[in-house]
Amino acid sequence: MSTKKIGDVILDVQNISLRFGGVKALTDISFNVREHEIRSIIGPNGAGKSSMLNCINGVYTPSEGSITFRGKTFDHMNSRQVAEMGVARTFQNLALFKGMSVLDNIMSGRNLKIKSNLLLQALRIGPAEREEIKHREFVERIIDFLEIQAYRKTPVGQLPYGLQKRVDLGRALAMEPQVLLLDEPMAGMNVEEKQDMCRFILDVNDEFGTTIVLIEHDMGVVMDISDRVVVLDYGKKIGDGAPEEVRNNEDVIRAYLGTSH
Ligand SMILES: Nc1ncnc2c1ncn2[C@@H]1O[C@H](COP(=O)(O)OP(=O)(O)O)[C@@H](O)[C@H]1O
Ligand SMILES: [Mg+2]
């Protein structure tokens, strides 16, 4: 649908399996993500989508398999290390500080980038002050980009749900990620809020060149904005390809029409 240039493989998921006690959340999953791509992961509830993102960003350690990011392969990596490598995420269930302002929540996403020691920062002297100004400016740019200037000082808990999701996106963008993992960013939104979120995702992808891995239930949205789609069902990969390819895949159609879930 677009003329954008897709690059080399930036993220390569190889033979990932994940078990929770007796539950096989993921079985031998492999797929890759190319630079600048919008790569969607779809599948019925409980298919393993969130678990897959949690493996990529180091929250879960897979029982088998490995993940390669920009040519560097890892099988054990904590979420901070993954974040430092340039992978950020938003959450299916919001993980914002409800009592804190929009500005401070987005600033909290910036913490990884803040290098001066805490004492200098607290005293706001020398390099720490210059650094703080630089970070504040960056956060203000994100606030402008997401069109939430009017709520800068508002505690996040007082905002409508759709705007809270937008702040969560802002917090992830504050990390200046190369890869952004979005777990159902449009869940629970009304049509208008969905359209806005869709536009922001496309703009982030386009203007910042950020690679996006998207979990989404709204098939219209998925078919519209994805470059390629992975389909999971009961922890297994049952489809992988361009949207129209996946849409016509017999296994995928069966999984979605199946009466079992
Ligand atoms: N922390 C956990 N502990 C135990 N089981 C889990 C945990 N997280 C996910 N699961 C199980 O793993 C399977 C996949 O879940 P999940 O990745 O959340 O699916 P999806 O995001 O596709 O709805 C489900 O059967 C779920 O119950
Ligand atoms: Mg999920």
Secondary structure element (H or E) that encloses residue 12, with its range: strand 9-20
- Ligand 1: which residue has its CA nearest to atom 10? 25
Ligand 2 geometric centre to CA of 104 (Å) = 27
Q: Which atom of ligand 1 is nearest to the CA of 44?
A: 22
Question: Does the pLDDT value for residue 260 go beyond 60?
Answer: no
According to DSSP, the residues that pair with 213 across neighbouring strands are: 39, 181
pTM: 0.90
Task: Give the pLDDT confidence score for residue 248 in this predicted structure.
Answer: 92
Task: Give the pLDDT confidence score for residue 119 in this predicted structure.
Answer: 61
Average pLDDT over residues 53-61: 93
Residues having CB closer than 6 A to ligand 1 are 20, 23, 25, 43, 45-51
Task: Give the pLDDT confidence score for residue 179 in this predicted structure.
Answer: 97
Average pLDDT of the residues of the chain? 90
Ligand 2 geometric centre to CA of 196 (Å) = 22
Task: Give the pLDDT confidence score for residue 193 in this predicted structure.
Answer: 93
Tens-digit pLDDT profile for residues 180-230: 999 999 988 999 999 999 999 999 999 999 999 999 988 899 999 999 999
- Ligand 1: which residue has its CA nearest to atom 27? 46
According to DSSP, the residues that pair with 229 across neighbouring strands are: 40, 241
- Ligand 1: which residue has its CA nearest to atom 25? 46
Ligand 1 geometric centre to CA of 45 (Å) = 9
Pocket test for ligand 1, best of 23, 42, 54, 231 (most atoms within 8 A of CB): 23
Cβ atoms 153, 101 nearer than 8 A? yes
Q: Which domains occur in the chain, in start order?
A: 1-86+179-261 (3.40.50.300), 101-176 (no CATH)
Question: Does the pLDDT value for residue 123 go beyond 80?
Answer: no
- Ligand 1: which residue has its CA nearest to atom 24? 46
Per-residue confidence at 125, pLDDT binned at 50, 70, 90?
Answer: low
Average pLDDT over residues 128-151: 91
Task: Give the pLDDT confidence score for residue 117 in this predicted structure.
Answer: 61
Ligand 1 geometric centre to CA of 168 (Å) = 22
Per-residue confidence at 16, pLDDT binned at 50, 70, 90?
Answer: very high
Q: Can you tell me the distance from the alpha carbon of 133 to that of 117, in angstroms, rounded to the nearest whole number?
A: 15
Q: Can you tell me the distance from the alpha carbon of 183 to that of 143, in angstroms, rounded to the nearest whole number?
A: 21
Question: Does the pLDDT value for residue 142 go beyond 60?
Answer: yes
